[in-house]
Amino acid sequence: MTETLVNAADRWRPLTELLGALLERITGELPGCLGAGLTVGRGGRPPRVLAVAGVAAALLPVSLAHGGPVAVAAATGEPVTTDDLFADDRWPGLGRAAGCPEFAEVRGAAALPGLWEDTGAFVLSAVFDRPPGAGVLSVLRRYEKLTEMTLVVAETAIAGDPDQTLDLLASRAAIEQAKGVVMAVRRCSPDEAWQTLRRASQEFNVKVRELAVALVEHVGGAHAPRLDGVPEIRPGEPARHAAERLWSAFTAE
């Protein structure tokens, strides 16, 4: 579906305009920002460019080809910042692009990963004429939920499948409940709670939504609550085992 979503952005004007406006708002809100980008990926595949603004139109494809904050954020699920994009030794191949005239003003960069369903991941990124300030990731996080909902609506509209919309709603509800559990026991932020769930799902090779439901049910000792009219998520034994292990790790700390 990611391929369909990328192709749709080329021909579906409302989606193109909405994503462009979102990135322009990000660019205008961040001091020294030269451009912003949005990439999407699914199932561990390399991220694809979905929308760009400013210098990101030229820089983002180069960064994906040679390494950079967006690729690292997509692979690790962790936010990435750099004070000097082309001199950072985490992606040495990108240094060869430093001499391009269109990138002469580029210095810092930031990338924030997000999710719009079990295997659908995106990265919001921005590039700057200075090191990114302390509040850059906070600004990107404010746009993360809007980006997520835009992608959910766009993907389900393209598919024309109301059942898929309900599945996505069920997944998001389950994940939000599990994030609440993790935040309560670990006294952490929503972002840290999400990263904990994502890492655990990868470690135990189970879907995030099944792990989320299993965790809520393990802690509560009852079936997880669900929204009226949305499909029930039934975790398998691997997800329940993962939830038990995860909770044991939390309570042993």
10-residue averages of pLDDT along the chain (253 residues):
55 70 93 95 80 94 92 91 96 88 94 78 95 92 83 65 62 82 86 84 88 88 62 84 89 72
Looking at the chain, list the stretches that DSSP marks H as alpha helix, in order from N- to C-terminal side.
Answer: 2-11, 13-29, 56-66, 69-76, 136-159, 162-186, 190-204, 208-220, 237-252
**pLDDT value, residue 84:** 96
Backbone angles phi, psi at 12, to 5 degrees: -100, 100
Question: What is the model's pLDDT at position 1?
Answer: 47
pLDDT of residue 26: 94
Contact assessment for residue 35 and residue 85, using Cβ atoms and an 8 Å cutoff = no
Amino acid at 8: A
Angle (deg, nearest 10), helices 190-204 and 237-252: 130
